[in-house]
Structure 1
Amino acid sequence: MGSLTDTVKTLLIANIIFFVGTLSLGDYAFTLFALWFPENPNFGVWQIITHMFMHGNEAHIFFNMFALFIFGSVLERSIGQSKFIFIYISSGLGAAGLQILFSYLGYWENYDALIESGLSSNQISEMISSAIETGRFPNYINSSNIGAANSLISNFSVPMVGASGAIFGVLAAFALMYPNMPLYFIFVPIPIKAKYLIGGYFLIDLYSAITDSSILGPSNVAHWAHIGGAVVGFFIMWYWKKNSFNQNRWN
């Protein structure tokens, strides 16, 4: 794949520094830099950027940085540094936007379900405060509304972290630039064209997002963020290729 390009090297270093800092600061780092639901008091506008450098554990950062290492430099050498930075950041923002959108949809869907179950707005606010502060629900949360309560709290209080959205944008752009490049899936010694391997992974993520089930990876994966990043990366690269931008304009 060749040597690392400057931007990819900088991104790798930045993500590692953030991760080491997270190990030192613990929950405070996630409170400050993870992307929280906008209605959550922990939310800050800067988190739209900083969440891209936060990771939950060693496996999370390893697989994201491995994908960036494998595909990033090839793409950057092909389209130039400025274009690569633009597609990386734009994909990360697209990922955040779509994830927030579906978090809002889930929040209000469950909020309405709790209202229909007989709770008042004040009771729901009290429930949220109680769940966050004590980890317990008030006694008016019972078997008939516990599902909606759990889902609402999940949308409200689970932050988004990781470079996955930006990475998926890079992968989508790579597949569009090199659709027939043979790639090898881990543990499967058979070459698969980039458009099939990356496209297949996208379809698995789409299925997981729609069904709220996880086929690959842990159950807390932000699938809509992956999809948002991939869609943004794909359409940016498609637009550039379609209009044959002069690369010098971006370097």
Structure 2
Amino acid sequence: MFRHLPPVIKNFILLNVLMLFASWLFRYQFGIDLNDRLGFHYFESNQFRPYQLVTYMFMHGGMVHLFFNMYALFIFGVMLEHTWGSKRFFTYYILCGIGAIGVQALVNFLQISHIRAEFSQLLSSYSPSLFLEFAEKNFPFFDFSPGSPNFTLIMNTAASEAPLRLNEMLQLQMAIPTVGASGAVYGILLAFGMMFPRVQLMLLIPPIPIQARWLVIIYGLIELTLGISQPGSNVAHFAHLGGMIIGFILIKIWQHRHPHYPF
């Protein structure tokens, strides 16, 4: 069956699988974290490199992460590549992936701007206990439990040192890379729903049929809800939404320019 896959999907799956095995090899044989090197870091991070805008979508956090993304690419992408052709499908996938991380970066910028604005207000009536409360709220993945190194550091931070501490925490948070093809795959899901809206799909849980258009709407609403309700999550929900948004824009542009093309 793999031999009969259209060329772009076949090569994307091969590349993603190879990069996962390469990440394992480099980590255990050479002590090099390819996810850290090739995953996306926020623009202000010391570890950001422009090529990460593309390379992040070919890296994954593990076999399960890879499997679900490649399975979705296979399920929803084959009909699209056959319909659009390989060149257009390749362009769409890559642009959705880049756009997805761009949207996530914009959300990160807004979140960091809010943190800095809140911190500026904190400085006007600074105390270590208020700084601790601020840190616990805005950096949920840090350990600030009593007696922890972070707790001790914050409680011994004077007002003049607080901006430096904030920058250190932001850099540590930015050092966590974003990896995965999910943003591009959500763009593929959106395109499938627009191209084949009445195709019946079978959900796994619960095992009920659903039209593609409703599946797209449900997934979009889920990601929007999770993105708003879990701003500190380690899942890039707004990247998923970003892939769908960019995909929608691309399809509308192509429909306008080529009204008789099968979009």
TM-score category, normalised to shorter length: 0.7 to 0.9
Q: What's the offset of the Cα at 1:21?
A: 0.8
Distance 1:183 1:201 in 2: 14
Instruction: Return closer, same or farther for 1:153/1:211 CA change in 2, 3 Å cut-off.
Output: farther
Contact 2:8 2:90 in 1 (8 A): yes
Match of 2:224 in 1: 206
Contact 2:45 2:171 in 1 (8 A): no
User: What does residue range 132-211 of structure 1 map to in structure 2 within 5 Å?
Assistant: 136=150, 138-140=153-155, 152=170, 155-211=173-229
User: What does residue range 5-20 of structure 1 map to in structure 2 within 5 Å?
Assistant: 5-20=6-21
Normalised by the size of structure 1, how large is the TM-score?
0.81
| Among 63, 66, 71, the residue aligned to 1:66 | 71
User: What does residue range 48-87 of structure 1 map to in structure 2 within 5 Å?
Assistant: 48-87=53-92
Contact 2:255 2:261 in 1 (8 A): no
Contact 1:8 1:69 in 2 (8 A): yes
SS in 1 for 2:205: coil
Instruction: Return closer, same or farther for 1:135/1:40 CA change in 2, 3 Å cut-off.
Output: farther
SS in 1 for 2:48: coil
Match of 2:37 in 1: 32
| Among 76, 95, 118, the residue aligned to 1:90 | 95
Contact 2:191 2:248 in 1 (8 A): yes
Distance 1:194 1:103 in 2: 31
Identity, % of aligned pairs?
Answer: 33
Contact 2:40 2:177 in 1 (8 A): yes
Structure 2 residues not aligned, in runs of 5+: 125-130, 143-147
SS in 2 for 1:139: helix
Contact 2:35 2:60 in 1 (8 A): no
| Among 206, 214, 233, the residue aligned to 2:247 | 233
Q: What's the offset of the Cα at 1:63?
A: 0.6
- Output one character per residue of 1:48-82: Cα deviation in whole Å (capped at 9) or x when no partner: 00000011122111110000011111110011111
SS in 2 for 1:158: coil
Q: Which letter maps to 1:191?
A: P
Distance 1:141 1:234 in 2: 50
Q: Which letter maps to 1:12?
A: I
Distance 2:156 2:242 in 1: 34
Distance 1:247 1:96 in 2: 28
Q: Does 1:107 align with 2:106?
A: no
Q: What's the offset of the Cα at 1:115?
A: 2.7
Contact 2:69 2:185 in 1 (8 A): yes
Q: Which letter maps to 2:89?
A: F
Normalised by the size of structure 2, how large is the TM-score?
0.77
User: What does residue range 214-229 of structure 1 map to in structure 2 within 5 Å?
Assistant: 219-229=233-243
SS in 2 for 1:174: helix
CA RMSD of aligned residues (A): 3.2
Q: Which letter maps to 1:230?
A: M
SS in 2 for 1:183: strand
Instruction: Return closer, same or farther for 1:174/1:197 CA change in 2, 3 Å cut-off.
Output: same
Q: Which letter maps to 1:90?
A: L
Q: Which letter maps to 1:86?
A: T
Instruction: Return closer, same or farther for 1:154/1:200 CA change in 2, 3 Å cut-off.
Output: farther
